[in-house]
A = this chain, B = another copy of it.
């Protein structure tokens, strides 16, 4: 069993780094070989540029097509290939990051932008010629856990909380990245309230993370609807008989 841990925090002394150590140790003790991508320590470049693609035969193509061609040709830059190899080996991917502006830090967004190339993570076809996406794709079956620190109080992420409910606030990556590429998104592990003066819940939070990780194998992923199940019509609208009359991100939960 292999797992990939992706850490996105600039300080090696941060709470995020401490929690990532807990993940490494807990998963190792549970029998995983843990691969690590510490993006700041690697000086990861977050910006997609033409340098990613080797000498492009077709610089006139859109960026997505250039990266797909470079993937097929084997000319993607080495830093991208190394991450794709780690991903290919891992059955579990754990992301550790602080919530910055209600999303992931740019360095992590740029890991997805550059590594999740067409032909590798998405854009694959099934035998009938249909695009494999949302519940299927190049990363099908891998489990994805996010461990997210947030300064604000936890209740602000509740279903009626001011910041937006965590599952819906994080829909762009839970559904739009993980589920889109066939990964199985697990409920985000939120470590909130860390901006409170005198915050002293490190022991509590490391215990809680260990407990979560020990039970991970038995967890049911977020039950988003799979495109292949035929629940969306040709316009990619959810069929009328499902969640009838409702709108909102919640309708995509089966």
Residues of A in contact with B (beta carbons under 8 Å apart): 10-11, 13-14, 40, 44, 46-50, 60, 62-64, 98, 100-107, 109-110, 112-113, 116, 134, 151-153, 155-156, 158-165, 168-169, 171-173, 175-177, 180, 195, 227, 232, 235-238, 247-252
8 Å CB contact of A236 from B40, B48, B151, B161: B161
**Residues of chain B lying within 8 A (CB to CB) of residue A161:** 235-238
- In the bound complex, what is the Cα–Cα distance between A60 and B15 (angstroms)? 12
- In the bound complex, what is the Cα–Cα distance between A141 and B107 (angstroms)? 30
A106 engages B165 (CB within 8 Å):
no
Nearest opposing residue in chain B for A43, CB measure: B47
B169 engages A110 (CB within 8 Å):
no
**Residues of chain B lying within 8 A (CB to CB) of residue A162:** 134, 227, 232, 236-238, 252
- In the bound complex, what is the Cα–Cα distance between A157 and B249 (angstroms)? 11
8 Å CB contact of A10 from B63, B116, B172, B237: B63
A236-B155, A249-B165, A251-B160 known; A101 vs B172 contact (CB < 8 Å): yes
B249 engages A101 (CB within 8 Å):
no
- In the bound complex, what is the Cα–Cα distance between A168 and B72 (angstroms)? 35
B106 engages A101 (CB within 8 Å):
no
A248 engages B106 (CB within 8 Å):
no
**Residues of chain B lying within 8 A (CB to CB) of residue A14:** 62-63
- In the bound complex, what is the Cα–Cα distance between A62 and B150 (angstroms)? 12
Nearest opposing residue in chain B for A240, CB measure: B160
8 Å CB contact of A46 from B103, B106, B112, B175: B106
